[in-house]
Structure 1
């Protein structure tokens, strides 16, 4: 039985929170919820998953055991605890011996399969593969190449290609830059677009909204001062109407930013939306820059990215954080195809601007104009002067490759199926316990769900109630009432630029039982509003 705290919700001055991001507002909601002692908080705000991939982590540890043995061979005559940099000679034979002696340890068989896969499917020499992995785990050298280690890039490219192209014919004709998570990818990309004259203050950037909050906030920073043009998703089906796509006919719009599947709606672009957007760009905006953030694509069925549909125009941001339960590892990538609009736009800049860029990058090469945009992102990430120390930490790159290999070698997609099942069962449980019938949507992903209070109110209590709810501005305090009365923490849809009163529920970070309670508690609070409506 659901029990709701009968204390009146505290009087809140909402105006002082108007400029807070939803992630900062969450802390205020937690303060309100904690005002009631001895009660369990259910924080379904931030989307940190409570599930993770264990096998590639075990493989990381076993690789570490072997790497340490390899290091200790160099100075075995010295005191214990002293090692050297392995040279790779005989590494394959020694690994075979290590594997036979440790086959009962989880992760060793995985490493054997990974070496075989890399050789057979990707053409990577076994010695080169092992030697790179061993030295990368030991982190005894700077990252060389800075952008990404050679064989690790081949592995991750294959993973990105298979996940982003879905049923489409796949290519790996693109470069990757390994970054400190998707957030670093975003920050580096915006900075380099400005540094290289691809964007300037006052330019227009189109955002497919609602969208992950930083894409709303970054363009407004003082160093950028970009003008935002919104391409609004239809909040009935979360697809992009043709009328919104046609806003891109404005040639003043230099950049389009997309999160696909959407955050907070957690619905992917349908094939129809992808086709219409692709046709429009190919016919009317061939010079448009596109950033697609596809962190949730691996949870979708038959996902196709704009990176695959519009390869010339699109820079892909991908993070390993959600799918592998690895937010703390800080693993992300930037992907750009070999032939791309970013490089072509730089080459087309006026000579005066080219000379400025020559001066910026002159310490890296005698021919700075030959530096590709993605390699300029690498250099800019370390203020150019420290380019020689750029690059993601090598153990992080190893774990990224092992995550990638775990999916590439999972021919039956068992891990993917488990990830999808767990979040979709939670979705069903949440709505069932709210007493709301679920509408099927083949493009829904279910990492999050958006509780649209107008829609829910209409389904549960009728349109007269919805009008009362709007007229009395009840959506403004819903999250605070929910937090105070029940201890449930959700994020405001408004923080992601959702038009109607709404709340984002993460379906990734709590237990199945917790979502039962969230469903019941949310319904109880809505019932309380309905009782207030009836009394009025």
Structure 2
């Protein structure tokens, strides 16, 4: 592929463009491809997985207690009576097996710290891991919801004052949450074609792409984070939300790809706007919050207006499990808006949900999401698969029991060490410490990377390069795959580097490749200067030029 003829790819989603870059990066034999594009981590939490497999073995012994007279491999449902005592015998006889001690501790924690019945917990977990019953309740298994709710409280709310309670819907990861929410907001007339929704940018690209689809027809308004202010939203940008034409505000916090959490000051400012705009719908996707220091979700400050999406995929290295939740406060704006609909719209919705309840007008929005996810008629078979819910519970308990937050500290060390390695490879000074920077991703912005060389070089480079040219050059010349920042809503050409999916030395190599490519353009610029073909002159040598402030 001619890397200078990439204009026709400009409209592709970054994740589709990635496939073209991978083809190019892998086109040279005997060369290692470094794919820092997609954010799939190469680390995972082992302890709760060991616990999952051992729980499965224990649940099988429970099942085989029934129908044991049949030789054809038939088991039955676990029995609630005596299950705690039988588990204790299992734990003592397998105490040296990885995962069993964790399970034993989890049972104790559930009983002694969460105040739940240990036998009921074991029964729900055994039923769930055997997958022998439909998910009941369909929104989330009863004790599973209580346990995961404690995890969400700790990680998303923390010590922030929070009154009232909230409900959870267990879903197939954050992507399913997005799909279900867009669909149900439309069906329940919370958003309609032509409505203006604000997007906090940069943002995960589907939040940009989905509203533009014909079935939604929403009008997007950008709330742009300022790279010069550490990728924070200025008050002037947030003030756009005061316009009553703006019906909703969607954001990813910490952001994707800058990986910066909204500052405490901006959260408070947002909360003040919501007080003036009590009708403003908020959706916050906080998948990276568990990598941040002292994270507090907007859901904690504005629970009445906010839907929270959280996925277990990144923090626990569980992208293949498809685990996530939608959280809604029990007293919320969404139910209020539905109650305020006109008679014709209410009658339409009451008819829609009448097959699943005799009082459809009282059906909470979060339960409408569940029903809509199965086209209402299949509501009786709705719900996340029970083994998935069991693993979600074990992940949650693993975190809740880790009161010293050793696992969290290890995750932070890992990704921050990789960012430092990237800078070493570029020969660049590390960024100044910022408590809001999470570092799951980082952006290499053309303007930021080249600013110290001189403004004329920046201007020339931005005018010279074609769309995605730098990304294709990195893929073709060095086998390095990055995603385009522009697809996430950034202003200047940039590349998103995932700091989660390669080893530390790989990031040194990526940094070196980026430096080599930038210096090549710098030499071309200086050659033009020597010929008198341009005005202005770049400052500093190539070494000086690579002392960048990459974002």
Q: TM-score, normalised by structure 1?
A: 0.97
What pairs up with 1:40-79 in 2 under 5 angstroms? 40-79=32-71
Corresponding position: 1:157 with 2:149: yes
Corresponding position: 1:257 with 2:250: yes
Q: Secondary structure at the match of 1:110?
A: helix
Q: Secondary structure at the match of 1:450?
A: strand
Cα separation, 2, equivalents of 1:138 and 1:482: 48
Return the offset for 1:463: 2.3
Q: State the match for 2:198 in structure 1.
A: 206
Given the alignment, which residue of 348, 353, 374 partners 2:340? Answer: 348
Cα separation, 1, equivalents of 2:256 and 2:474: 22
What pairs up with 1:399-438 in 2 under 5 angstroms? 399-438=391-430
Given the alignment, which residue of 116, 123, 133 partners 1:141? Answer: 133
Q: Is the 8 A contact 1:259 1:292 kept in 2?
A: yes
Cα separation, 1, equivalents of 2:504 and 2:293: 22
Return the offset for 1:19: 1.5
What pairs up with 1:332-411 in 2 under 5 angstroms? 332-411=324-403
Q: Is the 8 A contact 2:3 2:472 kept in 1?
A: no
Return the offset for 1:307: 0.6
Q: State the match for 2:264 in structure 1.
A: 271
Q: Secondary structure at the match of 1:327?
A: coil
Cα separation, 2, equivalents of 1:396 and 1:41: 33
Unaligned stretches of 5+ in structure 1? 1-8
Cα separation, 1, equivalents of 2:163 and 2:324: 20
Return the offset for 1:12: 4.0
Deviations for 1:129-152, whole angstroms, at most 9, x for unmatched residues?
000000001010000000000000
Cα separation, 1, equivalents of 2:192 and 2:463: 42
Corresponding position: 1:226 with 2:218: yes
Q: Secondary structure at the match of 1:229?
A: strand
Q: Is the 8 A contact 2:164 2:330 kept in 1?
A: no
Q: 1:471 to 1:202 in 2, by over 3 A?
A: same
Given the alignment, which residue of 149, 154, 172 partners 1:180? Answer: 172
Q: State the match for 2:547 in structure 1.
A: none
Q: State the match for 2:309 in structure 1.
A: 317
Return the offset for 1:166: 2.9
Cα separation, 2, equivalents of 1:393 and 1:72: 22
Return the offset for 1:172: 7.1
Q: Secondary structure at the match of 2:233?
A: coil
Q: State the match for 1:36 in structure 2.
A: 28
Return the offset for 1:171: 5.8
Cα separation, 1, equivalents of 2:527 and 2:76: 78
Cα separation, 1, equivalents of 2:50 and 2:465: 52
Cα separation, 2, equivalents of 1:26 and 1:468: 27
Cα separation, 2, equivalents of 1:34 and 1:136: 42
Corresponding position: 1:533 with 2:525: yes
Q: Is the 8 A contact 1:181 1:330 kept in 2?
A: yes
Given the alignment, which residue of 280, 304, 318 partners 2:273? Answer: 280
Moved more, 520-529 or 380-389: 520-529
Q: Secondary structure at the match of 2:314?
A: coil
Given the alignment, which residue of 422, 436, 444 partners 1:443? Answer: 436
Q: Is the 8 A contact 1:316 1:335 kept in 2?
A: yes
Deviations for 1:17-64, whole angstroms, at most 9, x for unmatched residues?
121100100111112222322211000000000000000000000100
Q: State the match for 1:5 in structure 2.
A: none
Cα separation, 1, equivalents of 2:108 and 2:410: 26
Q: Secondary structure at the match of 1:177?
A: strand
Q: State the match for 1:490 in structure 2.
A: 482
Q: Secondary structure at the match of 1:412?
A: coil
Deviations for 1:434-455, whole angstroms, at most 9, x for unmatched residues?
0111222111000000001111
Unaligned stretches of 5+ in structure 2? 529-551
Paired positions, count: 526
Corresponding position: 1:244 with 2:240: no
Q: Is the 8 A contact 1:469 1:475 kept in 2?
A: no
Q: State the match for 2:543 in structure 1.
A: none
Q: Is the 8 A contact 2:194 2:217 kept in 1?
A: yes
Q: Secondary structure at the match of 2:64?
A: helix
Cα separation, 1, equivalents of 2:204 and 2:459: 29
Deviations for 1:75-101, whole angstroms, at most 9, x for unmatched residues?
111115210111211101100110110
Return the offset for 1:121: 2.0
Deviations for 1:410-465, whole angstroms, at most 9, x for unmatched residues?
01101000000000010111012201112221110000000011111123x22222
Q: Secondary structure at the match of 1:422?
A: helix
Q: How well do the aligned residues superpose, as a CA RMSD in angstroms?
A: 1.2
